[in-house]
Amino acid sequence: MGVSRTSAIWAVIWPSLRGDPEIIWSFIPFTLSVKPMDQDLRMTSLLTYTFKNLPSTSQWALRFSMRPLSCSSQLRVAAAVQTKSKQTLAKPNIRNIVVVDGVRTPFLLSGTSYKDLMPHDLARAALSGLLHRTSVPKDVVDYIILGTVIQEVKTSNVAREAALGAGFSDKTPAHTVTMACISSNQAMTTAVSLIASGQCDVVVAGGVELMSDVPIRHSRKMRKMMLDLSKAKTLGQRLSLISKFRLNFLSPELPAVAEFSTNETMGHSADRLAAAFAISRLEQDEYALRSHSLARKAQDEGLLSDVVPFKVPGKDTVTQDNGIRPSSLEQMAKLKPAFIKPYGTVTAANSSFLTDGASAVLILAEEKALAMGYKPKAYLRDFMYVSQDPKDQLLLGPTYATPKVLEKAGLTMNDIDAFEFHEAFSGQILANLKAMDSDWFAQNYMGRKAKVGSPPLEKFNIWGGSLSLGHPFGATGCRLVMAAANRLQKEGGQYGLVAACAAGGQVCHRSFIGASRKSFSWKQNKFIQECLI
Amino acid sequence: MVASRAVGSLSRFTRSRMLRCPGYICRNFTKSSALLTRTHINYGVKGDVAVIRINSPNSKVNTLGQELHSEFIEVMNEVWSSNQIRSAVLISSKPGCFIAGADLNMLTACTTPQEVTQISQEAQKMFEKVEKSTKPIVAAINGSCLGGGLELAISCQYRIATKDKKTVLGSPEVLLGILPGAGGTQRLPKMVGVPAAFDMMLTGRGIRADRAKKMGLVDQLVEPLGPGIKPPEERTIEYLEEVAITFAKGLADKKISPKRDKGLVEKLTSYAMSIPFVRQQIYKKVEEKVRKQTKGLYPAPLKIIDVVKTGIEQGSDAGYLSESQKFGELAMTKESKALMGLYRGQTLCKKNKFGAPQKEVKQLAILGAGLMGAGIAQVSVDKGLQTVLKDATLAALGRGQQQVFKGLNDKVKKKALTSFERDAFFSNLTGQLDYQGFEKADMVIEAVFEDLSLKHKVLKEVEAVIPDHCVFASNTSALPINEIAAISKRPEKVIGMHYFSPVDKMQLLEIITTPKTSKDTTASAVEVGLKQGKVIIVVKDGPGFYTTRCLAPMMSEVIRILQEGVGPKKLDSLTTSFGFPVGAATLVDEVGVDVANHVAENLGKAFGERFAGGSLEVLKQMISKGFLGRKSGKGFYIYQEGVKNKNLNSDIHSILAGLKMPSQPDVSSDEDIQYRLVTRFVNEAVLCLQEGVLATPTEGDIGAVFGLGFPPCLGGPFRFVDLYGAQKTVDRLRKYEAAYGRQFTPCQLLMDHASSPNKKFYQ
């Protein structure tokens, strides 16, 4: 019963027009040489750019002339670029699409500081943060798209409510998308499509999730009676309806905990997946510890620059993620399995936790960005969605999508400088790494001749991941993209690849009430980032 | 295949052992040499846990036979005597089967009850040693765990089962006319409580893993795994083994207790069961129920109650002794021989002896959305066949679609399906009023009204649109297939598929071939039938084929008996007490009076005097008054929605009184009435074999029992002749022949069997 699902990957080239002048400087000859066809356009936009940033042009020119003399580190970077399979992922006759910048609210454990908010409050914070960070004129924004999973019924188009509240023009249309844990990836790819097709030039994409509050409904019987009552005209009709009331009508209907199609919870599926790939509890705990340690390090070093502080009404200003808790293997080993009891391997410590948070990114057509004087952080190059059997391969999306998107882009694993994979569970990440490294799996399940190989861990989620930073379902995609872009910029890489697995269908109906540190990740979504250096 | 798997598991085992405990490597080598000498069981040691793997060679299932038994004893003795080993895991290397039960051939080879008792006692002894083992033994169950397999599992200290659809635990012995003879009757009541144990042993029902966990039959569940580093089935078994090993270690270290916590209800029940008076009441109640249902025709259930009672009231020793003795007695009864014969026949009829068809049927089209058409659709869509259901009117089509949905939804209510699976299956069904898409059909089954000209009309219409390879199957109960095929452009592709109503409940499918039907067409029809989960007999074409032809003379006799003044209620009780599941008069109501009349007329024309007996006028008058049976609310009985006890239709008296026949006292005793019905049935069945309509007696027995409700305790008409005696059967027929004439003349084949006592249908 392989229910067909879609999933996505997209690629990014990032030219780092802002930041280190050296990078900018090496950008020009490269572009000119590779794409002479584009020369006019590029020159025009650069001119516009130069014109708008007059104060900095002198610095530009200076750097340019100094090039032969300056730092050898650049040369190293340049050399690295030449070993890539392709020097750029730009395609002729297709608009280049860039991410100018992106922000997110701090991701918090649900039930903490955000617990009294509504989802659009959180989303508004992210949108305001983006406005502040990019100074984009509100009326320039053509469209706003947000992703979310558990919908607050009062604000079913949460994108619109948040945009109005954040002060965007009421003339700017907004819609909400949902695609389980890759909802904000879907928001971003929708934005890319809108720009690529020429519909829009400037789009804000993002996502929000508030797991501190979820819709709990009356039972179907109770709802039916209430609806019928509202239609009843006479007292007699009302009384006869009320006489049918039974006490069990009052039992509430909780959002489904399990996958609708298979009735299996995500954690349960992850535990089975880990067992299928023979991944031990210790391996999972070690990976979780790595994620938390790296996240703490990144936080301490101030690398998580996409986080914007959020003054919560009636509470203190939240400035950083609160789920990063490096522990010890001994402590983690004491936990009992959370799903398959008593012998399972997935525990609270090696799963991502229920999280509140929102994120937003500003996506533009490149020429528009340059015309507006922006120094974009990354090109968004390609994306792909894939899908598999929701029962046994629920969380294996990255394995299927990675080779496909690499082939589509004409790259190999070695070309990628920064991997950002969504970490739903340690076991799920390790299973994907093992699957990508298995010829047997590639031949028997992916119809490939050989394995694609697993990403090297030194390039993999090195600023932490969903396990430690948190995973607000609807908002994680944007976090992944910004982490990849910021890492490339920081480390001087060229290509980044983002992947997330998601399960379920196009609609997500899961939530966890009273459960701690359980998480879900769904579907498959990838991004390749490319830096032109 | 099996060998490579065994080698594979060994090498895996070696590898992991070498990694973890290099000290054991030498031991490993000695074990592997021991492995070569055993064929059914091998074992290795992981740390201090012995992993005993069962894998009977050249078979899809493991069965408890002599060889496996002796190898098991050998291995267990080694386990118990080794200082290295502290606990053991018992697991099967076969996907989908733990142990499917005892080897039936071992039982049927015995000629005296003592031999069987001996077998039982040996098994009891062995399992008792397992039960009393000081080294904990964990049974790791994946796949069927039935009969002796379950008895072995419940002797172990701990049970872990995979939550797979194939994992079924049960005691189906009663269905074979025997009882659990290896301590099952004694251990099961202690494990799951007396009421649940009775339920399992008296119904023989299979219990799925999750329910087994709730009942306390297994202690832990393991979810089956998906694709990973190995094929899912292989890795699931490996994972089950890994989990079982951790539990075996835990049990040996006393970190895990084999006792489970009982729920409040369970505690109350077990308290109630400690009161002798309550126990007596339960025995009485169960016995009453069994007597009522079996009419005393099946000895096994009563003996099971007896043995359980002995064990509880007089202690285990008496219980074990009683169990083995009763086991021996039961194995020698006619009933168990009949039931085992049916079991074997059923297995045979679930194979396609015509080989694989050239083209697999994926697209099925069904014409007519009536009770039959929709029923066929229902058993097809849930097997993944893309099915088109066509009818002439939207209302009829809608009714049929609703029937399919209801059938699937009932399974959801019983938790056999999830609502998602139901929806996915239901989407395999397309309802339509035209022939759109028939150009892609691989098989068309028509289930339109039983009228030759109508069947010709649809055959012509269908042949205009279907592709060349498409099979045309007719679901008819009496119209000869060659007459239907007469107008076909491609008679080699025309075949009969006679389903029984209700299709989703009745296991039988009768496939009818004409001399022109090609072998590949037959193979295709059998393949589809097997996919639909049917037990299949393949017979030659002729009026009434096999099943209807056997039923018709019996029905004719039913009418005559009624005309002779025996009331419908009395007749029903006579037939059910002979072992028929449905009384004869009720059967006419169920089939439909008009259908019975139609069939009787047709076959009467074809076979003449042999099918005479009662007057068809009875049926005709009933039809004219609208008494068509259950479907019209009135037949011999009155049927009312929600009323369970059906009352006689008083108007029938006047019809029968008007057509009264004189009864002949010397052939009208209760027993004679029963035998008049049965011998006519049997005689016609044997004639079918004689004429070559039937290929084998097995198919005849299966068809009679699974399609027509011939008493299962008699094993079918051919087994009946073997067990009752051909001579005695002929004597009966001769006696009735003297009274009624040629309708009772025994056929030649039957007389041959009577004249040479060594001749048997089953050797």
Q: What is the pLDDT of residues A396-408, one digit of tens each?
A: 888 888 888 888 8
Q: Using CA atoms, how far apart are residues B453 and B543, in angstroms rounded to an integer? A: 17
Q: Residues B271-293: what's their mean pLDDT?
A: 91
B229, B241, B249: best mutation site toward chain A, by most A Cβ within 10 Å? B229
Average pLDDT, integer, range B12-31: 37
3-class state of residue B536 by DSSP: strand
As a whole number of angstroms, the distance between CA B387 and CA B378 comes to 9
Q: Average of pLDDT values for A13-38?
A: 26
User: Among A21-35, A72-86, A344-358, which is the least confidently predicted range?
Assistant: A21-35
Across the interface, of A3, A262, A277, the residue whose CB is closest to B229 is A277
CA B353 to chain centre: 19
Q: Which residues are paired to A177 by β-bridges? A: A147
Average pLDDT, integer, range B102-128: 93
Q: Which residues of A touch B226 (CB under 8 A)?
A: 272-273, 276, 389, 391-393
Contact B232/A392, CB-based, under 8 Å?
yes
pLDDT of residue B350: 94
Q: Is B226–A273 a contact, with Cβ atoms under 8 angstroms apart?
A: yes
A161 CB-near residues (< 8 Å, 6+ apart): A120, A123, A155
Query: Which structure tokens are listed for B458?
Result: 């649809």
- Round to whole Å and give the CA distance between A86 and A414: 11
pLDDT of residue A163: 96
As a whole number, mean pLDDT of residues B388-399 equals 96
| Amino acid A354: pLDDT | 93
B370 vs A29, more confident: B370
- Categorize the per-residue pLDDT at B4 as very low, low, confident or very high, splitting at 50, 70 and 90: very low
Sequence-separated (6 or more) residues with CB below 8 Å from residue A295: A321, A324, A463, A464, A465, A468, A469
Worst-scoring range by mean pLDDT, A40-49, A427-436, B450-459?
A40-49
Q: Are B679 and B744 in contact (CB under 8 A)?
A: yes
Chain B residue whose CA is closest to A274: B228
Mean of per-residue pLDDT scores for chain A: 79
Helix (H, G, I), strand (E, B) or coil at B199: helix
pLDDT of B24 reads 37
Q: Of the ranges A458-462, B26-30, B281-285, which one carries the lowest mean pLDDT score?
A: B26-30
Better-predicted residue by pLDDT, B485 or A516 = B485
Q: What is the pLDDT of residue B695?
A: 95
Check residue A256 and give its pLDDT. Answer: 66
**Chain A residue numbers touching B247 (CB-CB < 8 A):** 343
A144 pLDDT higher than 80: yes
Share of chain B above pLDDT 90, in %: 80
Beta strand pairing status for A378-380 and A522-530? Answer: antiparallel
Q: What is the pLDDT of residue B736?
A: 95
Q: Which of A497, A533, A495 is nearest to A89 (CA)?
A: A495
Instruction: Tell me how crowded residue A478 is: count the other CB atoms within 10 A of its CB.
Output: 29
Tell me which chain B residues have a C-beta less than 8 angstroms from the C-beta of A393: 226-227
CA–CA dist B98, B76 (Å, integer): 18
Q: Of B71, B234, B241, B510, which one is the catalytic site residue?
A: B510
pLDDT at A365 over 90: yes
Number of H helices, E strands in chain B: 32, 20
Return the amino acid letter for B617: E
3-state secondary structure A505-524: CCCCCCCCCCCCCCCCCEEE
Size of interface A-B (CB pairs under 8 A): 58
Q: Hey, what are B149's tokens? A: 């397999």
Closest to B305 measured CA to CA, from B449, B197, B159: B197
* Confidence band, pLDDT 50/70/90 cuts, at residue A76: very low
Q: Which of B100, B92, B98 is nearest to B2 (CA)?
A: B92
Averaged pLDDT, B424-440:
95
Catalytic residue (choose from A71, A200, A478, A501): A501
Shortest CB distance from A275 goes to which of B220, B239, B418? B239
Q: Respond yes or no: is residue A181 known to be catalytic.
A: yes
> What span, in angstroms and rounded, lies between the C-alpha atoms of B593 and A334?
73
Percent of chain A surpassing pLDDT 90? 58
A132 alpha-carbon distance from chain centroid: 21
pLDDT of residue A9: 33
Average pLDDT estimate for A406-422: 87
Instruction: Select which of A181, A200, A478, A531 is catalytic.
Output: A181
The answer to whether the Cα torsion of A414, A416, A420, A421 is positive or negative is: negative
- Position A162 pLDDT exceeds 50: yes
Residue A390 has pLDDT above 90, yes or no: no
Q: What share of chain B has pLDDT > 70, as a percent?
A: 95
Tokens of residue B761, six digits: 């249908």
Mean pLDDT score, B248-276: 86
Contact of B232 with chain A, judged by CB distance below 8 Å, is answered with yes
For the segment B99-104, the average pLDDT, to the nearest whole number, is 92
Report pLDDT for B474.
96
pLDDT higher than 50, residue B233 = yes
Q: Does residue B19 or residue A445 have the better pLDDT?
A: A445
pTM to 2 decimal places? 0.85
Indicate whether B5 pLDDT > 60. Answer: no
Q: How confident is the model at residue A361, as a pLDDT?
A: 96
Lowest mean pLDDT among A26-30, A158-162, A243-247: A26-30
Per-residue model confidence as pLDDT tens digits over A455-465: 999 999 999 99
Residue A315 clears pLDDT 80, i.e. is over it: yes
pLDDT-derived band at A257, boundaries 50, 70, 90: low
Instruction: Please answer yes or no on whether A392 and B243 come within 8 Å at the CB atom.
Output: no
pLDDT tens per residue across span A120-137: 999 999 999 999 999 999
H helical segments located in B231-370: 232-252, 264-273, 276-294, 299-314, 316-331, 334-348
Question: Is residue B385 a contact partner of residue B537, using CB atoms and an 8 Å limit?
Answer: no
Angle at the Cα of A218 from the Cα atoms of A213 and A220, rounded to 5 degrees: 135
A207 CA: distance to closest CA in chain B (Å) = 29
pLDDT of residue A398: 84
C-alpha A345/C-alpha A325 separation (Å) is 20
Dihedral through CA B585, CA B591, CA B592, CA B595, nearest 10?
-120
* A261: chain B residues, CB-CB within 8 Å: 420
B548 or A180, higher pLDDT: B548
B228–A275 CB contact, under 8 Å: yes
With cut-offs at 50, 70 and 90, classify the pLDDT of residue A519: very low
Residue A74 has pLDDT above 50, yes or no: no
C-alpha distances in Å from residue A464, one per residue of A12, A287, A361, A439: 21, 11, 20, 29
Q: Is the pLDDT of residue A2 over 70?
A: no
What is the band of A14 on the pLDDT scale with cuts at 50, 70, 90? very low
Predicted local confidence at residue B23, as pLDDT: 35
Q: What is the ipTM of this complex?
A: 0.84
Residue with tokens 């939240």: A318
In 3D space, the residue among B383, B407, B403 whose CA is nearest the CA of residue B391 turns out to be B403
* Of residues B649 and A285, more confidently modeled: A285
Lowest model confidence (mean pLDDT) among A465-469, B126-130, B660-664: B660-664
Residues of chain B in contact with residue A389, where contact means CB-CB under 8 angstroms, are 226
Task: Look at residue B201 and tell me whether its pLDDT is greater than 70.
Answer: yes
Distance between CA atoms of B171 and A500, rounded to whole angstroms?
48
